[in-house]
Chains A and B, each alone.
Chain A
Amino acid sequence: MNAEVRPVIKPATASVGTLAAMLAVFSRDVRVAFRQRQDLLNPLLFFIMVVTLFPLGVSPEVAFLKQSGAGILWVAALLSVLLSLDHLFRHDFDDGTLEQLILQPQPLFLLILAKTAAHWVLTGLPLVLLAPVLGVMVHLDGNSIAILCLTLLIGTPVLSLVGAIGAALTLGLRSAGVLLSLLIIPLYIPVLIFGTGTVAAAAEGAPVAGYVALMGAFLMLAVTLAPFAAAAALRISLSNS
């Protein structure tokens, strides 16, 4: 080598702020979802169908529906979130977006939190907004509907966040759907029990603050811990692919 000085591209030291990166991830996911609206409607239609089929299949009596309405809505919401989970990382995995996400300089768990937030806004939130209409249909009274919506509002983000762990873990597998359900349903059960329990307590006129506080604790726990677990699971899934 001769002694001439060769130019060197200096490594950049500053990175883009984490918040801006999270926003970019969030807005891309929302944009992609709106380009493929049938995927958005699928869990919603499932939710509506399950709730409308119950009175037809079991009993249309007011007394039965009043008693079991909140439970039906909660179970239907839980299952329709489960239905949409497989898509959370699958498409990104297939087209390589996930590789690029892992290689971004920002902490991965925060980017995944942004992705999960987009998932909730696109699936959980519409369920919460639809719940009052279906609540009226199953003869719930106004107070119960309000409490039901509150529990769904707190509970569905937990479903998305916990579901993200399962979706990340089963990413590289062929029979991911079955395994995902088996992994995730046990973790959903506490949320379901407290969600329906809150509505039942409200219907009996008991104070619900304690229940709601517990659900809030679930949410806090999920927000702080689930993204770490999902990020670790994603690294493993991609490392093996």
Chain B
Amino acid sequence: MSEPLLQAVDLECERDARLLFQNLSFSILPGTVTRVEGPNGTGKTTLLRILAGLNDAWSGELLWCGQARHQNRESFLRNTLYIGHRPGIKPLLTPLENLRALMAPRQPVPDQVLLQALAGTGLAGYEHVPCRNLSAGQQRRVALARLLIADEPLWLLDEVFTAIDAAGVQAIEALLQQRAAEGGAVLVTTHHDLDLPGMKRITLGGEVNHER
């Protein structure tokens, strides 16, 4: 077995005086796709934000590559890709400019690679159109173009299939599987019926939180 990338020990989170989850422990291994599931309001997004380092209202322990995450923050941030509900796409900028601005602080890549990634998500011909003129699904695709070039071993994807058409959903599923086969780790939340071979699940909500 390889060493887990991210390990959660006894995670507990309370929001608005309501216990979302407690005693939640799991590890995310390289080469796996993990789906966080549960009904609305059970804390899927909150869990992802906690794992990404955006939410500080939790107790328990988070280990990055075997060390406490806060001691290893720079390495953790550099190697974790988080794409949330609001993916950081500026409506006034073009897809190319958006991608360039998002990639620059992490992994500078030449424009040619960015253009290829945009073409790979079906945005060829839209590279220089301001994002506010694109449809919701197309804007989402701009953010997902990052997945085609990202070198981060851990991906945290929140509602990644929102506003994406059927062909796009298939392409993303294939991409996630390929990523796992290459040795990356992916954690997704989705209401879409995602069932990949070998997929792990973390179920939230109900009395007991467990990992299967």
Contact = CB atoms under 8 A, between A and B. Distances in A.
B93 A35 contact: yes
Give the contact-size bracket for chain A. 35 or more
Q: Range of interface residues on chain B? A: 35 or more
Interface stretch (A8-16, A79-87, A218-226): A8-16
Interface in B56-107: 56-57, 65, 74-75, 77-80, 82, 84-93, 97, 100-102, 104-107
Interface of A: 1, 6-13, 15-16, 20-21, 24-25, 27-28, 31-32, 35-36, 91, 94-97, 99-100, 102-106, 111, 235-236, 238-240
Interface of B: 1-2, 5, 30-31, 52-57, 65, 74-75, 77-80, 82, 84-93, 97, 100-102, 104-108, 130, 151-153, 181-184
Given A7-B183, A96-B88, A99-B86, A105 B30 contact: no
Contacts of B75: 11, 13, 105
Nearest to B104: A24
Given A11-B65, A239-B55, A6 B89 contact: no
A49 to B, nearest CB: 26
A24 B105 contact: yes
Contact of B104 (A1, A8, A20, A236): A20
A104 B31 contact: no
B52 to A, nearest CB: 6
A99 B45 CA distance: 13
B93 A104 contact: no
Contact of B56 (A8, A25, A239): A239
Nearest to A16: B105
Nearest to B97: A31
Contacts of A1: 1
Q: Which 7 A-B pairs have the closest CB atoms?
A: A96-B86, A24-B104, A21-B105, A7-B183, A100-B88, A105-B78, A35-B92
Contacts of A111: 105
B98 to A, nearest CB: 9
Contacts of B5: 11
B30 A96 contact: no
A28 B88 CA distance: 12
B130 A35 contact: yes
Contact of A106 (B57, B80, B105): B105
Contacts of A8: 2, 30-31, 153, 183
Nearest to B152: A12
Given A8-B31, A11-B79, A12-B79, A99 B54 contact: yes
A99 B84 contact: yes
Nearest to B139: A95
Contacts of B79: 11-12
Contacts of A238: 54
A13 to B, nearest CB: 7
Contacts of B30: 6, 8-9
A13 B107 CA distance: 12
Nearest to B79: A11
A32 B92 contact: yes
25 contacts: A6-B30, A6-B183, A7-B183, A8-B2, A9-B30, A9-B183, A9-B184, A11-B65, A11-B78, A11-B153, A13-B75, A16-B105, A16-B106, A16-B108, A25-B101, A28-B97, A32-B90, A32-B93, A97-B88, A100-B88, A100-B102, A102-B54, A105-B75, A235-B56, A238-B54
Given A20-B108, A105-B77, A97 B1 contact: no
Chain B CB count within 10 A is highest, among A25, A31, A95, A235, for A95
